[in-house]
């Protein structure tokens, strides 16, 4: 079974600064997907970024980028120019690409605070 | 706009009653939907995989008779919490994707409180 580990329960960043959230995972599969989801106080789950394991290039979405190290099974999220609206819980998630069931395995989450 | 709709958003009911939560895919057909449970300040834990036209696949430790799942159409899955007790109080959230290569879209969740 796959596992996802987020070792930072809480992080804090000043507005306009950069912060990196860590995520490691364990799998025996060679092809899979990795995600970062944001959950604000409203508890909606919002997709931030997605990485396909067969792609070496790190995914980017505006101020959000990842550092995907497949051999190390590491998938960190970098948030640049942090904004107050970035404050939320961030979950790293793994999804197998094999089979028809595409269930997600989540990490325990990192609560990000953004200060003025 | 939302592509997965979940209803109701909030339920408060007495112990012993049954509660049904609906999850709908709005603009795509979903042969598979997923039901998660989230305790306060915790992560999402997969409860079961809902399969259209067949039985749901439950994760280890999840009581099938307590959490009934029905996926009668390609756009609707329901989760019924039967004979609810206070310990069933939680945040329940569903998800679906257009196909297995696409990201999951989540409903807005249901906050269930059993008195």
Q: Quick one: how far is CA A55 from the chain centroid? A: 16
Q: How confident is the model at residue B53 (pLDDT cuts 50, 70, 90)?
A: confident
Asked whether the predicted pLDDT for residue A100 surpasses 70, the reply is no
Of B9 and A56, the one with more pLDDT: B9
Yes or no, beta carbons of B46 and A44 under 8 Å apart: no
Residue of A nearest to B58 (CA): A103
| Residue A70 touches partner B, C-beta closer than 8 Å | no
- Distance CA(A71)–CA(B86), nearest Å, equals 45
Residue of A nearest to B108 (CA): A44
Maximum C-alpha span of chain A: 46
Task: Retrieve residue A64's tokens.
Answer: 């959000």
- Distance CA(A38)–CA(A98), nearest Å, equals 25
- Distances in whole angstroms, Cα of residue A48 to Cα of each of A65, A75, A87, B2, B44: 9, 13, 13, 15, 16
Give the tens place of pLDDT for each residue, A5-61. Answer: 999 999 999 999 999 999 999 999 988 999 999 999 999 999 999 999 999 899 999
How many C-beta neighbours within 10 Å does residue A64 have?
Answer: 16
Instruction: From chain B, pick out residues whose CB is under 8 angstroms from the CB of A42.
Output: 108
What's residue A99's pLDDT?
Answer: 65
| Cα B11–Cα B69–Cα B104 angle in degrees, nearest 5 | 85
Yes or no, beta carbons of B100 and A99 under 8 Å apart: yes
Give the tens place of pLDDT for each residue, A69-80. Answer: 999 999 999 999
Q: Which residues make Cβ contacts (< 8 Å) with residue B76, sequence separation at least 6?
A: B22, B23, B24, B25
């Amino acid at each position: 079974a796959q596992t996802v580990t987020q070792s930072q329960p809480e992080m804090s960043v000043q507005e306009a600064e950069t912060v990196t959230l860590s995520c490691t995972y364990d799998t025996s599969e060679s092809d899979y997907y990795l995600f970062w989801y944001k959950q604000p106080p409203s508890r909606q789950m919002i997709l931030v970024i997605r990485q396909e394991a067969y792609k070496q290039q790190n995914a980017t979405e505006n101020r959000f980028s990842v550092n995907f190290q497949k051999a190390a099974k590491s998938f960190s999220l970098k948030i640049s120019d942090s904004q107050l609206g970035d404050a939320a819980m961030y979950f790293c998630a793994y999804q197998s690409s094999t089979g028809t069931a595409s269930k997600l395995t989540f990490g325990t989450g990192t609560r990000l605070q953004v200060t003025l | 706009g939302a592509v997965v709709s979940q209803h109701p958003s909030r339920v408060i009911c007495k112990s012993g009653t049954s509660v049904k939560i609906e999850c709908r895919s709005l603009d795509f057909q979903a042969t598979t939907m997923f039901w998660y449970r989230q305790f306060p300040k915790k992560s999402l834990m997969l409860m079961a995989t809902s399969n259209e036209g067949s039985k749901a696949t439950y994760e280890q430790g999840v009581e099938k008779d307590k959490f009934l799942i029905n996926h009668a159409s390609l756009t609707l899955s329901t989760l019924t919490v039967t004979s609810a007790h206070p310990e069933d109080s939680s945040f329940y959230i569903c998800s679906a994707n257009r196909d297995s290569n696409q990201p999951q879209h989540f409903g807005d969740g249901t906050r269930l409180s059993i008195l």
